[in-house]
Amino acid sequence: MFNQVIKLKSNNFTLLVLYLQNDSTKKIKYALQKKIQESPSFFKNAPIILNISQLSCKIDWNSIKYIIQSLKLKIVGFIKCKNEKLNETVLDSGVPIFFKTNKLTNAVHIQKKKKTIDVKSSLFFKNKIIKKPIRSGQQIYSSNSNIIIINNVNEGSEILSNGNIHIYGKLKGKALAGIQGNTQCYIFCTELFAELISICGQFLLLDQIPSDLIGKSVQCYIKNGAIKLLKV
Which pLDDT does position 193 carry in this prediction?
96
Contacts 24+ apart (CB under 8 A), 83-92: 83/55, 83/56, 83/57, 85/57, 86/52, 86/55, 86/56, 86/57, 86/59, 86/61, 89/57, 89/61, 90/50, 90/52, 90/61
First to last CA, the chain: 56
Which pLDDT does position 12 carry in this prediction?
57
- Domain segments of the chain as ranges: 16-109, 120-231
Residues (pLDDT < 70) of the chain are 1-3, 8-14, 41, 99-125
Q: What is the pLDDT of residues 202-229, one digit of tens each?
A: 888 888 899 999 999 999 999 988 899 9
- CATH number belonging to domain 16-109: 3.30.70.260
Q: What is the pLDDT of residues 120-129, one digit of tens each?
A: 444 456 899 9
How far, in Å, CA of 27 to CA of 190, rounded? 40
Reduce the DSSP state of residue 85 to 3 states and report it: helix
- CATH number belonging to domain 120-231: 2.160.20.70
Which pLDDT does position 118 carry in this prediction?
42
Which pLDDT does position 192 carry in this prediction?
97
Among 70, 68, 72, residue whose Cα is nearest residue 59:
68
Q: Which residues pair with 205 in a beta bridge?
A: 196
Cα 137 from chain centroid? 15
Which pLDDT does position 99 carry in this prediction?
63
Which pLDDT does position 108 carry in this prediction?
36
Which pLDDT does position 112 carry in this prediction?
35
Which pLDDT does position 66 carry in this prediction?
94
Which pLDDT does position 14 carry in this prediction?
64
| pTM for this entry | 0.58
Which pLDDT does position 167 carry in this prediction?
97
Which residue type, as a one-letter code, is found at position 40?
P
